[in-house]
Amino acid sequence: MSGHSKWHSIKHKKAVTDAKKGKVFSKISRIIGVATKEKGGDPDKNPTLRLAIEKAKQANMPNENIQRIIKKYSGEENQDKFEEIVFEGYGPGGVALIIETITDSRNRISQEIKHILSSHNGNLAIPGSVMWMFERKGRIILSQDQHDFSNIEALAIEAGADDITTEDELIIITTEPTELNNVRIFFEQKNIKIENAELEYVAKNTVDIDSDEIKNQINSLFL
């Protein structure tokens, strides 16, 4: 009986893991597809695609899957109409949000985002009302327990990064959007393991939230 219970638990955990992996693969597939459609399937000439491929590899997506997606979206015959849409909004406690999406239906995703926000005491904002609070930046994430901060800081300066900080046991290197790939390659050539590298909207200013209730609502929204 115990063996049966153990196998049942293993199957359940595997199902959860597979489901999460499927969602990640689906998201990355769309990112690769959009990047390919916009600027072609050559990662050497398409930095956005190159970053998407790196993200796919970090998620252990098989290379044949990556190449199949690039091939599919490189052709004129492809009829999928995926596009990137950025929403602006407010979450619990008036927290400003930039929400990046990839969708084949502008109306459907708009309604979904509106529903999610309203269900968590938030709301959509008109274009431009939130964007000014953020900057588009490249962010490279390293694990703090695997690297000496002083050494990484010196390398970040040498690579031309804008800033370097620590947060929640992570080292965060900030770059200009156009320099993200160059800085990433610089660190990879130094055999330094990168946990993540991507373009993000970074808040110009941050505020502390004292209310535990608001904190829980925000965590619930992000999950």
Query: Residue 137's pLDDT is what?
Result: 93
More confident residue, 94 or 223: 94
Query: Residue 18's pLDDT is what?
Result: 44
| Residue 122 C-beta-side C-alpha neighbours within 13 Å | 28
Strands (E), the chain: 83-90, 96-103, 123-124, 134-143, 163-167, 170-175, 196-203
pTM of the full structure: 0.66
Query: Residue 23's pLDDT is what?
Result: 67
Q: What is the pLDDT of residues 103-134, one digit of tens each?
A: 878 899 999 999 999 999 999 999 999 999 99
Taking residues 179-205, report their average pLDDT. 89
Q: What is the pLDDT of residues 21-35, one digit of tens each?
A: 556 778 888 888 888
Q: What is the pLDDT of residues 73-100, one digit of tens each?
A: 887 555 567 778 899 999 998 999 999 8
CB-based burial, 164-190: b 16+ in 10 Å, e otherwise: beeeeeebbbbbeeebbbebbebbeee
How many angstroms separate the Cα of 185 from the Cα of each of 8, 181, 188? 44, 6, 5
Q: What is the pLDDT of residues 130-172, one digit of tens each?
A: 999 999 999 999 988 888 899 999 999 999 999 999 988 899 9
